[in-house]
Amino acid sequence: ENNIYAIELAQQCGVKVAGSFIVGYPGETAEDYQLTKDLIGDTFLDDVFISIAEPIPETHLADLVLKTDDSENPTFIAHTGEYKALKLTESEARCFDLTLHAQMCKSMPSLLTDQLYQACLDDARQQGGDVRAVTRLLQKYRGK
């Protein structure tokens, strides 16, 4: 509620508002994800940035990732929903879906072309690969 109020107030004052959202962290529920998606849809932001949660050494997220088995980490779990044919992980699918959703819900919506679709898909896959690589390095040098 406070976030929506602040966004609306800024927009009424002519301020362009962007949002940065992180998905795919261990423990993220479908409800958490849906709340994020709803917020993006309700606020008509001017720009939106979506990232997959990347564990940085010596942070709470890194500790959480090291304690989470790959079978429970959305960065490694195969997505079985509507994007199954794309062979994405759960975190990649959430990043991809939220990016597509955000493009259509901005204050100036983007037309979803084949090129934009592919760029969003490529970005989600790239982020997923990067996060998996960082996770493996953390596991190698800090734990598991």
DSSP assignments along 101-129, one per residue? HHHHHSSSPPP--HHHHHHHHHHHHHHHH
Q: Detail the DSSP E strand segments found in the chain.
A: 18-23, 47-52
Of the candidates 81, 77, 83, the one whose C-alpha atom is nearest the C-alpha of residue 128 is 77
Note the Cα 11 to chain centre separation in Å: 24
| pTM for the structure as a whole | 0.93
Longest pairwise C-alpha distance within the chain: 51
What CATH number labels 2-142?
A: 3.30.750
Q: What is the DSSP letter of 85?
A: G
The CA distance from 29 to 81, in Å, is 14
pLDDT digits (tens, 9 = 90+) for 6-30: 999 999 999 999 999 999 999 999 9
Average pLDDT, the chain: 96
Percentage with pLDDT > 70 across the chain: 99
User: Hey, what are 118's tokens?
Assistant: 């592919």
pLDDT in tens, the chain (144 residues): 889 999 999 999 999 999 999 999 999 999 999 999 999 999 999 999 999 999 999 999 999 999 999 999 999 999 999 999 999 999 999 999 999 999 999 999 999 999 999 999 999 999 999 999 999 999 999 865
The number of residues in the chain equals 144
Predicted confidence (pLDDT) per residue in 39-54, tens digit: 999 999 999 999 999 9
